[in-house]
Amino acid sequence: MIDRIEELERQATAAIDEATTTVALEQVRVQFLGRKAELPNLLRSVSDLPPQERGAVGKRANEARKALEAAIGERVAGLEATELDARLIADRIDVTLPGDPPQPVGRLHVLTQTRREIEDVFLGLGFSVLEGPEVETVHYNFDALNHAPTHPARGRTDTFYTGDGDVLRTHTSPMQIRAMEQYPPPLYVIIPGRVYRRDSDATHTPQFHQVEGLAVDKDITLADLKGTLLDFSRAIFGAEREVRLRPHFFPFTEPSVEIDVSCFNCKRNGEPCQVCKGTGWLEILGAGMVDPNVFAYVAEHGYDPEEIQGFAFGMGIERIAALKYGIPDIRTLYTNDVRVLEQFG
């Protein structure tokens, strides 16, 4: 019996020495020390032996088991360290290599690019950027902007009303009032944002974007408006641009104008120009001098029309982008077809 134990111990020791991986070593452990292995079985059946043999056999078998467990433990530690080293070398990543395949980084939406370009121009001219609510009261959207009670834009065929009688703002102009309530003159601000109208065709979408501008100071004139928008037009459409003012009407400006920029597409190829339809001018925005009736709504905030004047303007970002990039149908800006969007910027 003792001979058999020693034979098993020798076999197991040799197997432990030969194992080169932790997996192989675990197999050796199961083979010699597992539930069904001979040595543990032998230990369990020591009580079946004649009493005079039990002591010696039990002692020897126990020693063998402990020695083998210790040998396996030691060898496991060594193998684990070796395997970890090997894995670290095999898994090493060279972070300086290019991605495989290199991923395209995408780009900003053309409307975001255009909004940022517009903001940059006016920031450069000393304007600040404000934002305002898209759900607006009738007071700010119409009343305080001098709209007559019967003005057609108030109708439900033109404007989205909420259940509470508020509106989805139809323009960014209500922010003229909110800005003047909040900040005393002199005031130079632009307000980009979403606006909503019941309108839908190739050049109108029910939701679109505007940038409002408001400058209030002493001695502001229509010439300041023209000079500011000439600078703007040249920054966006090219240094050769001219602007012209055409008379128009808005309830909250007097006088009111529409601003045209000279066509940047004409004479490119000698054929009749598709963009300006041969007129040489492109309408880009509405503007005017702030109506004294509007200042009356904010008189208590330091806006006395006897003391200060102002100009205001409002432009559609979609329209600016469509003109600049020649986009025939602005609805394509909202359908997320990357074949369209990839073409800009």
Residues that bind ligand PHE (CB under 6 A): 171, 173, 250, 253, 286-288, 312-314
* 290/333 with CB nearer ligand PHE: 290
* 192/286 with CB nearer ligand PHE: 286
Q: Give me the least distance between CB of 108 and ligand PHE, in Å please.
A: 25
* 37/222 with CB nearer ligand PHE: 222
Distance separating alpha carbons of residues 73 and 85, to the nearest angstrom = 19
Distance separating alpha carbons of residues 138 and 83, to the nearest angstrom = 74
* 114/253 with CB nearer ligand PHE: 253
Q: Give me the least distance between CB of 149 and ligand PHE, in Å please.
A: 18
Residue number, nearest CB to ligand PHE: 314
Contact 211, 190 (CB under 8 A): yes
Report in angstroms the alpha-carbon separations of 224 from 53, 57, 134: 117, 111, 29
List CB contacts of 66: < 8 A, sequence separation 6 or more: none
* 231/254 with CB nearer ligand PHE: 254
Report in angstroms the alpha-carbon separations of 316 from 118, 210, 255: 11, 4, 20
Q: Give me the least distance between CB of 341 and ligand PHE, in Å please.
A: 26
Please give the full DSSP string across 257-284, using - where no structure is assigned. EEEEEE-SSTTSSSSPPTTTTTSSEEEE
Distance separating alpha carbons of residues 261 and 243, to the nearest angstrom = 4
Q: Give me the least distance between CB of 286 and ligand PHE, in Å please.
A: 3
Q: Give me the least distance between CB of 273 and ligand PHE, in Å please.
A: 25
* 287/317 with CB nearer ligand PHE: 287
Residue 324, helix vs strand vs coil: helix
* 185/314 with CB nearer ligand PHE: 314
Which DSSP letter does residue 201 get?
A: B
Phi and psi at residue 262, to the nearest 5°: -65, 140
Q: Give me the least distance between CB of 195 and ligand PHE, in Å please.
A: 7
Q: Give me the least distance between CB of 285 and ligand PHE, in Å please.
A: 7
* 4/244 with CB nearer ligand PHE: 244
Distance separating alpha carbons of residues 249 and 247, to the nearest angstrom = 7
Residue 254, helix vs strand vs coil: strand
Which DSSP letter does residue 135 get?
A: E
Q: Give me the least distance between CB of 318 and ligand PHE, in Å please.
A: 12
Helices (H), the chain: 2-18, 22-33, 38-44, 51-90, 110-124, 138-141, 174-182, 222-237, 292-297, 317-325, 338-341
Which DSSP letter does residue 97 get?
A: S
Q: Give me the least distance between CB of 188 and ligand PHE, in Å please.
A: 14
* 68/179 with CB nearer ligand PHE: 179
79, 85, 87, 90: CA torsion to nearest 10: -140
